Amino acid sequence: MPTFRSLEDANVNGKRVLVRVDLNVPMQDGKVSDSTRIQEIVPTLVELADKGARVILLSHFDRPKRPDPKYSLRPVVPEIARLVKRPVGFAEDCIGPKAERAIAAMKDGDILCLENTRFHPGEEKNDEEFAAKLAALGDIFVDDAFSAAHREHASNSAIVTVSNLIAYPGRAMKSELDALARAFEHPRHPVTAIVGGAKVSTKLELLGHLLTKVETLIIGGAMANTFLVAQGKAVGKSLYESDLVAAARDIMAKAKSLGREAVLPVDAVVAKTLAAHVPTRVVSMDEVGATDMILDIGPRTVEHVVSVLARSKTLVWNGPFGAFEHEPFDNGTIEVAEAAAELTAAGKLISFAGGGDTVAALNLASVKHRITHVSTGGGAFLESLEGKTLPGVKVLIVPQTSPLPGE
């Protein structure tokens, strides 16, 4: 694992600490409707404030192209304040006089949230001039926004490269990096990956990379249909990607040549339409009718997946097995989630999961707290699983100077 600075070594007392956070949280009627991402950053914010830092929050919200009150971070501030149990200020811009005045008025231990960084086009362009203006507002940089680390933007990339700011991973970022290292750099073997979801097209790189890392790859979700077609199975009216059948065949061939086990569903829950509580049938993979849609894995597949987990020591999971938003097509995912949680709680499995749908499914199964590490990242988790060093992580790595001869 690359070397990162440790936040506890930072002397933050009286310093202006710029903290990149991900406040891109779901909102409903002007209020935060899911505060998971805010809860994750609380330890970092409280630790810095308690040590006398002047904590300045930088974040994007949604995807505005210009200043637009609809995308203001202001309505998020009360939720941050509630969770850190202290007042949190707000500045109506993230650079310029409004930001400068608000920061100049801060006292040690104060927390201030700056307005949406994406109100400036320089943010998404990773623009150096804009980044320098952000950097000038602080003395130290902390990134606690793993879920935005796959973006190479000014507030998490150029802000470090154009400035002399020393960059630290925050607590939440560090735990994401540690989890990835535990899963991929020095995992307990055998390692199993579950990759589900709708589309092979979004996960091709992921599948290819995972095959080099895991003993067993379990493929689920509608993307499994493309693999089944590649094996000559009939999938009826099920969703699949005809242009990726050849790629699916290549992945199976790669698995074989690497000596990895690739697991596909052996039975399915099918229906004529995708909606909640429609009539369903359980069929083997050879019995899918011409008008059937495969909407979940069947009981024999669940049993097989659970038996694979029982002989695994590490699990990496991205993507649900079925159309889990509609009952009863959440059953397969929930049963596997329960098994993973039980094995984890019994100390037999180290489990890592991430991605929006996966986290939603774990919540549905009420097992999230029993999984070893649930990533806050969607795209960031996926790209990490593809073996990439994320731009927002790259700038946190301490360069290794090679020892001089004789040292």
The residues annotated with a catalytic role in the active site are 37, 199, 356, 379
Residue nearer to ligand 3PG on the CB measure, 63 or 107: 63
Binding status of residue 64 toward ligand 3PG by CB under 6 A: no
Q: Which residue of 75, 379, 386, 387 would you call a contact of ligand 3PG, by CB under 6 A?
A: 379
98-134 as b/e, with b when 16 or more CB fall inside 10 Å? Answer: ebeebbeebeebbbbbbbbbbbbebbbebbbebbbbb
Size of the site for ligand 3PG (CB under 6 A): 8
Strand order in the sheet with 111-114: 89-91, 111-114, 54-58, 16-20, 140-143, 166-169
Give the Cα separation of 200 and 198 in Å (integer).
Answer: 7
Binding status of residue 63 toward ligand 3PG by CB under 6 A: yes
- Closest distance between ligand 3PG and the C-beta of residue 357, in Å? 13
Binding status of residue 151 toward ligand 3PG by CB under 6 A: yes
Scanning 45-53, 73-81, 143-151, 347-355 for contacts with ligand 3PG by CB under 6 A, the matching segment is: 143-151
Helix axes 36-50, 171-184, angle to 10 degrees: 120
Omega before 328 within 30 of 0, i.e. cis? yes
Residue nearer to ligand 3PG on the CB measure, 31 or 188: 31
Binding status of residue 43 toward ligand 3PG by CB under 6 A: no
3-class SS of residue 333? helix
DSSP letter at 322 equals: S
Name the closest residue to ligand 3PG (Cβ).
24
Binding status of residue 378 toward ligand 3PG by CB under 6 A: yes
Q: Which helix (H) or strand (E) holds 139?
A: none
Binding status of residue 22 toward ligand 3PG by CB under 6 A: yes
Scanning 28-36, 125-133, 147-155, 217-225 for contacts with ligand 3PG by CB under 6 A, the matching segment is: 147-155
Binding status of residue 148 toward ligand 3PG by CB under 6 A: yes
Binding status of residue 280 toward ligand 3PG by CB under 6 A: no
Query: Which residue stretches of 11-155 are H helix?
Result: 36-50, 77-84, 96-104, 128-135
φ and ψ at residue 93, rounded to 5 degrees: -150, 160
Strand partners, 282: 269
Binding status of residue 296 toward ligand 3PG by CB under 6 A: no
Residues lying near ligand 3PG in the complex (CB under 6 A) are found at 22, 24, 63, 147-148, 151, 378-379
